[in-house]
Every structure is written in structure tokens, then in C-alpha cells.
Structure 1
Amino acid sequence: MTYEEQIKKAETHVFKAIFPNTTNHYDTLFGGTAMQWMDEVAFITATRFSRQRFVTVSSDKIDFKKAIPHGTIVELIGFVHHIGRTSMQVTVEVYVEQMYEEHREKAIEGTFTFVAIDEDKNPITILKSNPA
């Protein structure tokens, strides 16, 4: 499998319904909850790409472009953005859609950096060799 095929296969999609227990006093999704979900989707994406242990080392520029009201559905999409020797960047896009309409738009986007680690929590190489 080529790197491009491996990256495509690792793409992760998760759907969530926005209920009152995840919203703030403005009836919109808590930013911290959104970031937690995004980090989880990014972690799953990184793990699916290489099947190694990963830890989050940073989250970069998370842009909240649109408030996400309760009573909507969100789709979180994680995809590998960059692969280094021991680290990987995963971008997560969050789309909001109305439950009873076809309207959908991007609400949040952010990038998360992960480092591959061994059993002793030391950084290790992500890619061993170039796949065929």
C-alpha cells in the first residue's frame, strides 16, 4: 500500500448529536468539549495510519468559525496532514448540519501533533520503510 492509500484509509469520520449536556449558557457547544472530541478523532486517525502508540504533544490554531447550537449534528473528519520522522500532524474539520434540513457548513478546524512512542514512552520512528 502506498503512503497516499495509507493516508486515505486512516481518514476518520465521527458523528455526534449536540444535546443540552454538551452546551454552554448560550445553548452552543462548549469549546472545550469540541477540542476534546477533535483530539480524540485526531488520535484515532494517527493510530489508524501507523498502528503505533501516540501521544498528543500540541494542538495548533484551532479556529472556531461558527457556533454549534444544540439540536444539530456534527461530523468530525480527521486526516493525516504531515508525517515526520517521529511526529505526525493530523487536521480535524468539524462540520455542523441541521437535523431536519440539508444545510451543512464547516464550523471548526484545527491541527494536532502527535509523537509515536515505545513501551517506555520514548519517541520512535513512524515510518519504517516506503510501502510499495
Structure 2
Amino acid sequence: MTTEEKIDQSETRAFKVVFPETTNHHNTMFGGRILMMMTETAFMTATRFSRKDFVLVSSGKIDFTKPIPAGTLVELVGRVARIGNTSIEVRVEVYLEKMNEEFREKVVGGTFTLVAIDQNSKPVPVC
């Protein structure tokens, strides 16, 4: 399998409903909750790409372009953006969907760098 085929096959999509317990006093989703979900999606994407254990080492700039209201759906899409020797960078984009309308819009995006590790928590090659 080529690297591009592995990247395509490891693309990860996760859906969540924005329930009231995940929102702030503005009735929009907590930013911290979105960051947690994006980190999980990045981890799943990296794992699906190389089938190794990973730890998060950094996140790049996260752009929140629009609020995410309660009562909507979010789709998180993770895709491998760069492969290093022991690290992998995953781009995660978050899309807002209205439940009762044909509406989909990108509302958050960011990058996450993870390092592959062995059972002793030492870095190992990604591929």
C-alpha cells in the first residue's frame, strides 16, 4: 500500500450532537470540549495510519471561526498532513451541521503533532 493510500484509509470522521451539558453560558459549545474532541480525532487518525501507540506533543494554531450552538451536529475530520520519522501531524477540521436543514459549514480547524512510542514510552518510527 502506498503512503497516499494509507493516508486516505486512515482519514477519521466522528460525529457528535451538541447537547446542553456541553455548552457554556452563551448556549454554544465549550471551546475546551471541542479541543478535547479534536485531540481524540487526531489520536485516532494517527493510530489508524500506523497502528502504533501515540502521545500528543503539541498542537498548532486552532482557529475558531464561528460558535457552535446547542442542538446542532458536529463532524470532526482528521487527516494525516505530514509524516516525520517518529512524529505525525494530523489536521483536524470541525464542521457544523443543522439537524433540520441542509446546512454544513467548517467552524474550527487545527493541527496536532503526535509521537509514536514503544511500551517503554520511547519514540519509535511511525512507519
Q: Which category of TM-score, normalised to the shorter sequence, fits these structures? A: over 0.9
1:40 maps to 40
**Cα separation, 2, equivalents of 1:87 and 1:104:** 32
**Mapped pair 1:31 → 2:45:** no
Percentage of identical aligned residues: 58
2:85 maps to 85
| Residue type at the aligned position of 1:62 | I
Q: Deviation per CA, 1:37-93, whole angstroms, max 9, x where unpaired?
A: 000000000000000000000111000011000010000000000000000000000
Partner SS for 1:105: strand
Partner SS for 2:85: coil
Partner SS for 1:61: coil
**How far 1:116 sits from its partner (Å)?**
0.4
| Residue type at the aligned position of 2:53 | R
Structure 1 unmatched ranges of 5 or more: 128-132
CA RMSD of aligned residues (A): 0.4
2:50 maps to 50
**How far 1:103 sits from its partner (Å)?**
1.0
Give runs of ≥4 in structure 1 deviating > 2 Å. Answer: none
| Residue type at the aligned position of 2:54 | F
**Mapped pair 1:59 → 2:59:** yes
Number of aligned residue pairs: 127
**Cα separation, 2, equivalents of 1:103 and 1:3:** 33
1:95 maps to 95
| Residue type at the aligned position of 1:105 | E
Structure 2 unmatched ranges of 5 or more: none
TM-score (normalised: structure 2):
0.99
**How far 1:31 sits from its partner (Å)?**
0.2
TM-score (normalised: structure 1):
0.95
